[in-house]
């Protein structure tokens, strides 16, 4: 029976969530499976992957063939590297302690890369939020200035209109005084 390590889709439309399973290659994608190895959630940044490394290595030794995506996930989590080191131990190229030390060092470097990515994502998110806040406060100040300028303009028009009204009565007073003088 040909056995594959592949993804089994779950989740709603637009929000996929996958189980990493060992299944018969002839079974449907979301159908029967032999064993569940872990989960993969691509909706988070970076993607969340939880996998049982020992079970996965065991299935690889039994001849299970991972699909392209499953192979990338297994490589990312170090399952393929661990199998590679165990083959080296069986051939006598290195001892079990050396293989464990190499795998632990690889896991530490991988974990440091992941935490660095998470911290840069968090810092860039904070900087973006600060930039949005600054732009929003600047726009708010500009709107306040525009409203203040709009409110000041009618006051100036009223001041100009008031002296014009004062001149009109004076002009009407002058002809009345001139008219009696002309008689």
64 DSSP assignment: P
C-beta atoms surrounding 160 within 10 Å: 9
pLDDT at residue 73 in the model:
95
pLDDT at 158 over 70: no
pLDDT at 18 over 90: yes
pLDDT at 10 over 70: yes
Task: Name the token pair of 10.
Answer: 């779950």
Q: Structural domain boundaries of the chain?
A: 3-94
Mean pLDDT (the chain) is 85
- With 0-12 / 13-18 / 19 or more C-beta atoms within 10 angstroms meaning exposed / middle / buried, residue 82 is buried
What percentage of residues in the chain have a pLDDT greater than 70?
A: 83
Backbone angles phi, psi at 18, to 5 degrees: -120, 145
For residues 23-51, give the mean pLDDT: 91
CA–CA dist 58, 53 (Å, integer): 9
pLDDT at residue 28 in the model:
87
pLDDT at residue 152 in the model:
78
b/e map 53-66, b = 16+ CB within 10 Å: bebbbebbeeebeb
pLDDT at residue 160 in the model:
64
Rounded to the nearest 5 percent, the helix, strand and coil shares of the chain are: 65, 15, 20
Write out pLDDT tens, residues 43-93.
Answer: 988 889 999 999 999 999 999 999 999 999 999 999 999 999 999 999 988
C-beta atoms surrounding 24 within 10 Å: 14
Write out pLDDT tens, residues 141-156.
Answer: 999 888 888 887 554 5
CA–CA dist 99, 93 (Å, integer): 10
Could you identify the residue written with the tokens 């079970």? 55
Give domain 3-94's CATH architecture: 2-Layer Sandwich (3.30)
H-helix or E-strand spanning residue 109: helix 96-182
């Amino acid at each position: 029976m040909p056995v594959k390590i592949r993804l089994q889709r779950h989740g709603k439309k637009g929000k996929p969530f996958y189980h990493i399973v060992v299944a018969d290659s002839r079974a449907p994608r979301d159908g029967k499976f032999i064993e569940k190895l872990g989960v993969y959630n691509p909706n988070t940044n970076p993607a969340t992957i939880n996998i049982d490394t020992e079970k996965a290595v065991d299935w690889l030794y039994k001849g299970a063939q991972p699909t392209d995506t499953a192979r990338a996930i297994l490589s990312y989590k170090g399952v393929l590297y661990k199998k590679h080191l165990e083959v080296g131990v069986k051939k006598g190229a290195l001892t079990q302690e050396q293989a464990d030390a190499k795998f632990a060092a690889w896991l530490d470097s991988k974990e440091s890369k992941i935490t660095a990515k998470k911290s840069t994502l968090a810092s860039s998110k904070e900087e973006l939020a600060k930039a949005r806040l600054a732009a929003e406060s600047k726009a708010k100040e500009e709107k306040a200035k525009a409203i203040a300028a709009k409110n000041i303009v009618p006051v100036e028009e009223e001041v100009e209109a008031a002296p014009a009204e004062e001149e009109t009565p004076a002009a009407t007073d002058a002809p009345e005084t001139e008219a009696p003088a002309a008689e």
